[in-house]
């Protein structure tokens, strides 16, 4: 939790990047609009606080699990138990027993016993694990699951590393959902080399997604950095302002958005008279100071940042 600069009101903040969480009443969770972090905590935002406490939430239990793409059979499978009793707990007569036995056999044949399906459910659980580790919202996990499903269908996932496919689909899902997670971050959470995640990612992008999915915008990263570093939101506004006025240019082509964002944050901080060290922005952005400096130089070489951007105090 931090105190907002202007009105001094307390808000529930994202523990990952510090941005204000938005309550999703339907799911009873909070989601960070910036980095995509989710909690199962009750929603915040003012007056409705009490209505969303645990008790209230528990009263709204649903019947059966929600159908979800993250379960290999959409959570709709039926189990036929071995107990040989009917629904009232009575034992079945012998004739019934053999037919139930047949049903069970056939069902298991047509369901997860199928190696394809078993592999699928395996990967899907890995996907949700990774998403959990990265605190990603459900929609990203679902998107990742969807991507993996189609890639399995297209045989792209055939004889590929499960971990690699998992990381790749999760990263692609982040990009599709506009959630600002770095390849580096995903790779770290998956315990993989950045390079090999990138290889799987390119594969999936090319074979499954067909069209290019752009990385998160500079602005997304600016917000992320500001919030991670707990910098005053007024500097965020300034940084975004400068960034917008200087986007349409060659200075951003081919450059990593995070590095640019770091530069904007740094520039904004000095313009606001609250200098935030390069070293630290660079650290949060997981780039080098040199990169921050280079981006700064390019911005300042190509634009005259006038005093109108300066703080109004």
Q: Which is nearer to DNA, 57 or 184 (CB)?
A: 184
CB atoms inside a 10 Å sphere around CB 211: 6
Q: Is 236 exposed, middle or buried (0-12, 13-18, 19+ CB in 10 A)?
A: buried
Is 310 a residue that touches DNA (CB under 7 A)?
A: no
**Cβ neighbours for 224, distance < 8 A, ≥ 6 positions apart:** 17, 19, 34, 35, 180, 261
- 275 touches DNA by CB under 7 A: yes
The secondary element (H helix, E strand) that includes residue 218 is: helix 218-228
Specify whether the CB–CB gap between 266 and 278 falls below 8 A. yes
The count of chain residues that interact with DNA, using the rule CB under 7 A, is: 24
253 scored as a contact of DNA (CB under 7 A): yes
Cα separation, 117 vs 73, whole angstroms = 8
Distance, in Å, from the CA atom of 35 to the CA atom of 297, rounded to the nearest integer, reads: 28
> At closest approach, how far in Å is the CB of 287 from DNA?
4
Does 291 interact with DNA (rule: CB under 7 A)? Answer: yes
Span interacting with DNA, options 4-12, 74-82, 106-114, 194-202, rule CB under 7 A:
194-202
Q: Which stretch binds DNA (CB under 7 A): 34-42, 216-224, 232-240, 277-285?
A: 277-285
Counting contacts by CB under 7 A, is residue 259 touching DNA? yes
Q: Which helix or strand (DSSP H or E) is residue 29 part of?
A: strand 29-31
Q: Measure the CA–CA gap between 17 and 284, rounded to whole angstroms.
A: 10
Report if residue 185 touches DNA, rule: CB under 7 A. no
For the CB of residue 166, give the shortest distance to DNA in the complex, in Å: 19
287 is a site residue for DNA (CB under 7 A): yes
Give me the least distance between CB of 114 and DNA, in Å please.
36
In angstroms, what is the minimal distance from the CB of 40 to DNA?
34
Does 255 sit near DNA (CB under 7 A)?
Answer: yes
List interacting residues with DNA (CB under 7 A). Answer: 194-195, 198, 253-256, 259, 270, 275, 277-279, 286-291, 293-297
């Amino acid at each position: 939790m931090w105190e907002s600069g202007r009105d001094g009101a307390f808000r529930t903040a994202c523990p990952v990047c510090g941005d204000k969480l938005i309550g999703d009443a339907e799911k009873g969770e909070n989601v960070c609009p910036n980095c995509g972090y989710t909690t199962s905590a009750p929603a915040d935002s003012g007056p409705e606080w009490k209505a969303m406490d645990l008790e209230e939430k528990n009263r709204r239990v649903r019947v059966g699990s929600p159908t979800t793409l993250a379960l290999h059979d959409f959570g709709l499978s039926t189990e036929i138990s071995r107990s040989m009793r009917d629904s009232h707990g009575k034992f079945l007569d012998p004739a019934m027993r053999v037919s139930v036995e047949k049903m069970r056999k056939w069902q298991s044949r047509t369901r997860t016993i199928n190696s394809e399906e078993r592999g699928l459910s395996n990967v899907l659980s890995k996907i949700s694990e990774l998403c959990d580790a990265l605190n990603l919202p459900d929609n990203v996990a679902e998107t990742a699951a969807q991507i993996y499903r189609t890639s399995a269908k297209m045989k792209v996932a055939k004889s590929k590393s499960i971990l690699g496919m998992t990381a790749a689909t999760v990263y692609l899902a982040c990009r599709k959902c506009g959630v600002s997670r770095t390849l580096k971050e995903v790779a770290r959470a998956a315990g993989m080399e950045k390079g090999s995640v990138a290889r799987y990612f390119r594969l999936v992008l090319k074979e499954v997604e067909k069209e290019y999915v752009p990385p998160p915008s500079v602005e997304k990263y600016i917000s992320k950095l500001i919030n991670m570093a707990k910098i005053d939101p007024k500097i965020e506004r300034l940084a975004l302002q400068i960034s917008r006025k200087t986007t349409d240019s060659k200075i951003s082509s081919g450059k990593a958005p995070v590095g640019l964002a770091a530069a904007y944050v740094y520039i904004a901080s000095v313009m606001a008279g609250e200098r935030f060290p390069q070293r630290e922005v660079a650290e949060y952005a997981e780039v080098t100071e040199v990169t921050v400096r280079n981006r700064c130089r390019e911005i300042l070489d190509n634009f005259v940042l006038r005093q109108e951007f300066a703080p109004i105090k």
